[in-house]
Amino acid sequence: MLRVKPALTFEESDPKRRPNLVLSLALTIAGSFLWAGCNTLPQSSAASSQASGQSVQLADRISIQTALPNASSGSSYHQVLSVSGGQAPYTFAVSQGELPPGLTLNPLTGSISGTPTQTGSFAFTILVYGAPLGRLGLHGGPSGNPIGDTGVRAYTLTVASCSNCVTVKISPANASVAAGGQVPFASLVSNTSNTAVTWLASAGSISANGLFTAPGSTSAKSITVTASSVAEPAAQASAAVTIASSEFTITTSSVLLVVASKPYTELLSASGGQLPYQWSILSGSLPAGLQLNARTGTLVGSTTQVGTFPFTVQATDAAAHRTQRSFSLDVSASTLCGPPAYNCSRTDFNIVQVPSPVPNVGNLVGANMMVTDPDFGSPVVRITDWNTDPALPAAGRSFVSDVSGAAENIWNIDSTLFLVQAIGASGYPFSFDPTSMQASRMYVANYPSTGGFRLSQGGFWSRTDANVLYTSSGTVLSKYDFSDRTNPPTAQVVFDFASTPNCLPAGFNETWSTRGGVSGGDTVFGMAFSNSGDQGTGVYAVAYKPGSGCSMLNTQTGQVTGDWGDTGTITIPDRWTIHNSKVSLDGNWLMVSPSTCLSSSCGAGPYFWQIGTTTVNYCGEGKRCSGHVTVGYTHIMNNPTTGVQVFRLFSDPTPVVLNPIIPPGLETPLDEHPSWNNANPVDSVPFFASFWSPITPFPAPWYNEISGIAVDGSGAVWRFAHNFITTKSQNFPTEYGIGSVSQDGRFFLWSSDWMGTLGSQSGAQTCTVGTDCRGDVFTVELR
């Protein structure tokens, strides 16, 4: 057995680049050691090596191929690492990170092979040892010969979804059941018309339709359930079943505060015993207006009674076993809901499926209809419908919160105005009453023949003036002032990025731009431009400071120019094209996400340009930089893996995990688009996201929900509502339920096809999901 102590140590000539990997290892022998082409080391040699504590320097003289081809999930993968230098035979090992699940490394041949089972990007390091290590042993030969040449190489292997492979998924991916209990499993087979599967359980039994029955008594703590495609038997998926204690108990320990006259929902849970359970009030009483659902164990309703109400709940299982638990329900007259604590939202880990049928918000028509999400108790209002703009062609009468993504600031500072967009990118300002949650398009009466005032595209609201909206057209930044709610405003030019010689080149012909937004206090505006193509071709990242002018970074040349601040060449050799940009709310940084590397190598994006200087940081290898991003004043957040959020400074990209507590059962695919437009100057308030996953039934909480995530490291996640998305919409923002939180943290506006119930884009009342179903904009009160 080879043990490395204490860890790999890298020496690097340039700390901003991927290290020149000069490897120093202190190696000891524990027990017997078997190496390629060698006999087991003598016990005396092992003891001698341990006793001496000798540190052996490995010379990095073996070259390994620089990159690996990408893989596809569900498809066979085989790649033999090519090496040169040193002396064969070679021995290979993974020294850092992990291979994608389903792939293994052959230590004798350097072959990476198998069938990947999970999509994503996987970073790992391969270490290669030359022959002397095998011949002489780790302690060297009698004359103190070195242990041999080595080579090391860091890789990132991307596993993409296989577009034509047969794949199988099981839900739930993990389950817990008492001995003799039952769990229904569902399968999802893709890329074949034959969706049948065969089921197999390592213990207990499972029916042809996936109903698993645990053995009545067994020593097995874990059982594997496998579904295999009938069309392609090699395509399989497995789920783990844990045999839980048979003790029947109510697991809910406390219940949420009730606010008088507000809708209330709280789900009680139990474990053990035999399903199904029946629930009842054994003693005490609930306040008038609240009831306990005997079948589901849900406390639901609304009450005007204020006070403290003690009661005891009894649960009875199918075998007539009983268990009780006492609770105290507090009803407050004051509204303690909303920011910053969100005391009236759910924070539990209970799995909540989309209700069937979904709450009725109308069909083609239903703007301003309010419903209460039955599982979360939150009020939800439909904002748009088929008649929002009758002047639009039928195919364009779907509406989204914003076509640019969750990072856009589409609410004004006091939640009385917001902006939505049609699929064709037209922008519509709405007035909004935060108390009644009723909304209306502005200035419709001024345009009786064309359907009302609208912008050519979207925009972002001021962070100081509730009436000001900023937009851009070409290289010109403009604003609209909505102080006059009767007469529509006209655009006022704020700045032209092509009007100064120190900014965009003379005669600049804009072909693409992205709005980076405005910082707190409206002190700095960020943009990015291209004059040679669409997204991914631009190289001009710019910032405008009122009263000072422009500062620009050319990401192709690495040159900083401008009317203020430093000029010259940036501090890193990376050159790249731009995917998008976002200004930090303190106005000091512009996050610039890369599309294509234009230099010999590039660090891991995104890049953080300190505006008005030549300083550029980047996220860095191994610093968990992937996923969707949102920014605060001095911090940036992203979601690199399933359900995990990380938090880092622009000035120091070292990641900090925000939510170390992940509910069991979370699995891919699970995506989210975060929004932090409510950030405060110390970046201490939660950010918000609309989660997305096509897996049904949901294997865990958070799936297809509107949620808030704490930034204090507590792991708290507030759950507000289902987003009611089918995840199959033909329109991207609606498919992912993308939305934005208001600047005051009181509301979340998002896009949804409401499970296909909003009618067709053609105007028909029925539609085909994924083909022609309409989408509309909804808002939920964050309580």
- Whether the predicted pLDDT of 4 surpasses 50: no
What are the extents of the domains in the chain? 2-160, 167-244, 249-332, 459-627
For residue 286, give both structure tokens.
Answer: 């609930």
Q: For residues 484 and 461, is the Cβ–Cβ distance under 8 A?
A: no
Distance set, CA 554 to CA 68, 205, 565, 595 (Å): 31, 64, 15, 14
Confidence of residue 23 (pLDDT cuts 50, 70, 90): very low
| pLDDT of 24 over the 60 cut | no
Residue 420: pLDDT above 80? yes
Q: Quickly name the fold that domain 167-244 has.
A: Immunoglobulin-like (2.60.40)
pLDDT per residue over 475-497, tens digit each? Answer: 999 999 999 988 899 999 999 99
Tokens 């999400």 locate to: 373
pLDDT of residue 39: 30
Tokens 């040699």 sit at which residue? Answer: 45
More confident residue, 559 or 647: 559
* Higher pLDDT among residues 344 and 724, named by residue: 724
Residue 609 and residue 607: Cα distance in Å, rounded? Answer: 6
**R_g of the chain computed on alpha carbons:** 30
Mean pLDDT to the nearest integer, 743-757:
96
User: What 8-state DSSP symbol labels residue 662?
Assistant: -
Beta strands, E only, 161-195: 167-171, 174-178, 182-184, 186-190
- pLDDT classification of 346: cutoffs 50, 70, 90: very high
Architecture of domain 2-160: Sandwich (2.60)
Instruction: Give the pLDDT confidence score for residue 264 in this predicted structure.
Output: 82
- Strand-pairing partners, residue 592, are 581, 607
pTM of the model: 0.61
**pLDDT above 60: residue 12:** no
First to last CA, the chain: 55
Instruction: Label residue 574 by pLDDT band (50, 70, 90).
Output: very high
Mean pLDDT of the chain: 83
When pLDDT is averaged across residues 191-218 and rounded to a whole number, the result is 88
Tokens of 11: 């020496």
| Phi, psi for residue 545 in degrees, rounded to 5 | -115, 115
Topology agreement, domain 2-160 and domain 249-332: yes
pLDDT in tens, 83-137: 998 888 888 988 888 899 889 999 999 999 998 877 788 999 998 988 764 333 3
pLDDT computed for residue 654 by the predictor: 87
- If one compares 213 and 253, the residue with the highest pLDDT of the two is 213
Residue type, 608: F
* 670-675 average pLDDT score: 91
Domain 249-332 architecture: Sandwich (2.60)
